[in-house]
Structure 1
């Protein structure tokens, strides 16, 4: 789940006492000009009062920068005098010759909310993305956060998908089954491939959350479900973790989609992909989805039937700065 500390941006923050935030001395700079301690102060202040506890430390923040490919030279920071005012983290990667940017977090401190700072930060962040050569940019935002959605739309982002984080623990018992002409899972063949190979599927979903982008999941497993004729029908992208004894400990699903040309016949291949991704039903492990697309109701229905509980829902938003290329492999 990606953070956007803007849920109170439309409300005037503060306690009624005059502070540096009440003066027009807010200055913008690059995150690379800040110390780690200042960056953490920006983050923690920006996410004050957020939907969930996003508090971090210098150690955790340093790991986040590397893990999520955050570019301090493109990320924007704001200060009101010496006090943290707000920030936008910007990540940038290249895939298939296309540079893709991501908003890795946006926050405005309580004392500075309601003053239009979020839009100012986002305008500067978008310009930084463009200067970095980005053709596409993505972000995730909590669906209930209408204020943040409006800010992002004001700088060119548009909602392209809904995302779900769901989880369950322990054995499933029995996976939901679909009636289909192939006779259940025995009517399909499964193959495990590298995530890059999934991008060759004509129905691969390139629009995805940053955590689920194929180039960020290079060490995970791609699963392809094919029919009796060998034609790919569905796929999944999953991370599976084992304990020291080799037993399945956790499974996280990032993608699951079927060829839309199948129409109503897509349910069987989807179920086969989901069952293969989440492993043996009897496995006593943690199972979760991470910003999984909600585009296909059949996927969400399967998760509910299998006992998954929704942890969060978000929107995937996208902006295009140049000539968009579909093939990012």
Structure 2
């Protein structure tokens, strides 16, 4: 992975990562490894997220990872962390094996999907939409807080959120997303961080939800799901309707 200093700084800020809890390893004056960490309360537990670990190629296979992880765990211990999480690319067996050796377990399979849906409001839909700020989601009892770090509202403060209601005014789901426009002011794509339906997933509801997100824009709009759980019926619907799998990860957790 490569990124400019500006992109690195923006990622630290936007995802709530902590400079004070991130670590760089040196060989004399030469930086050779880095891990960026974030810490926040999730479901009442002080949780740490390893948002990325990198070791310089020349130093791999020389025991640096063992020393590095021990230093990270010492910091977690000093911070009284109750749960430790991370994600790893599914094909990166070497990294997954390393994390397992240190007590991490695979808890879920996560996917990045990419695709377009021709969003049009179904003729007979009674779905009502309420737009809210991402931080307001935490006030709703159905909001799912224990999701991958990047999908939590705290990591998507610059995004948008919507609540969906049936004709009786009962909540039936919500979405957390971020729109990206090009220089011509045209909606280019939508990053979908969460899409949870409390009712049965149907084409009518999906169409109504996507129409609410892309209201006033020309279709089709390109959607990208971020670290979405394969167990989510909405994600299964996307995969069955032409969305392409671009990346698959495993969500790992280490309990204290």
TM-score (norm 1): 0.65
Shift of 1:242: 4.1
2:110 pairs with 1:163: yes
Q: Tell me what 1:238 maps to.
A: 177
Partner secondary structure for residue 20 of structure 2: coil
Q: Tell me what 1:128 maps to.
A: 75
1:166-209 CA-partner distances (Å, limit 9, x unpaired)? 2246xx4467x9xxxxx887132222122233334444322222
2:192 pairs with 1:253: yes
Q: Tell me what 2:149 maps to.
A: 210
1:101-149 CA-partner distances (Å, limit 9, x unpaired)? 2212111222222234323322321321332343333322111122212
Distance 1:66-1:221 versus aligned 2 partners, 3 A rule: closer
Partner secondary structure for residue 125 of structure 2: helix
Partner secondary structure for residue 248 of structure 2: strand
Distance 1:285 1:272 in 2: 14
More strand by share: 2
Shift of 1:95: 6.5
1:68-125 CA-partner distances (Å, limit 9, x unpaired)? 3333332222234444432211122456875432212111222222234323322321
Q: Tell me what 1:299 maps to.
A: 235
Shift of 1:280: 6.5
| 1:108-147 superposed matches below 5 A | 108-147=55-94
Q: Tell me what 1:86 maps to.
A: 33
Distance 1:310-1:184 versus aligned 2 partners, 3 A rule: farther
Distance 2:174 2:184 in 1: 29
For the Cα contact (< 8 Å) 2:190–2:223, is it kept in 1? Answer: yes
**1:219 alignment partner, one of 148, 158, 163:** 158
Instruction: Name which one, 1 or 2, has greater alpha-carbon Rg.
Output: 1
1:214-272 CA-partner distances (Å, limit 9, x unpaired)? 1122332222222222221221111123457754333111001222xx4xx34354554
Q: Which moved more, 1:113-122 or 1:267-276?
A: 267-276
**2:252 alignment partner, one of 317, 320, 327:** 317
RCO greater where, 1 or 2, for CA within 8 Å and sep 6 or more? 2
Gaps of 5+ in 1: 1-53, 178-182, 322-329
For the Cα contact (< 8 Å) 1:173–1:281, is it kept in 2? Answer: no
Partner secondary structure for residue 100 of structure 1: strand
For the Cα contact (< 8 Å) 1:278–1:287, is it kept in 2? Answer: no
Q: Tell me what 1:24 maps to.
A: none
1:266-313 CA-partner distances (Å, limit 9, x unpaired)? 4354554345335568436543222222222442332551x4322211
Gaps of 5+ in 2: none
Distance 1:69-1:130 versus aligned 2 partners, 3 A rule: farther
Partner secondary structure for residue 66 of structure 2: helix
Distance 1:194 1:85 in 2: 40
Distance 1:205 1:195 in 2: 12
Distance 1:209-1:97 versus aligned 2 partners, 3 A rule: closer
Q: Tell me what 1:21 maps to.
A: none
Q: Which moved more, 1:122-131 or 1:249-258?
A: 122-131
Q: Tell me what 1:191 maps to.
A: 130
State the superposition RMSD in angstroms: 3.2
Distance 2:10 2:177 in 1: 22
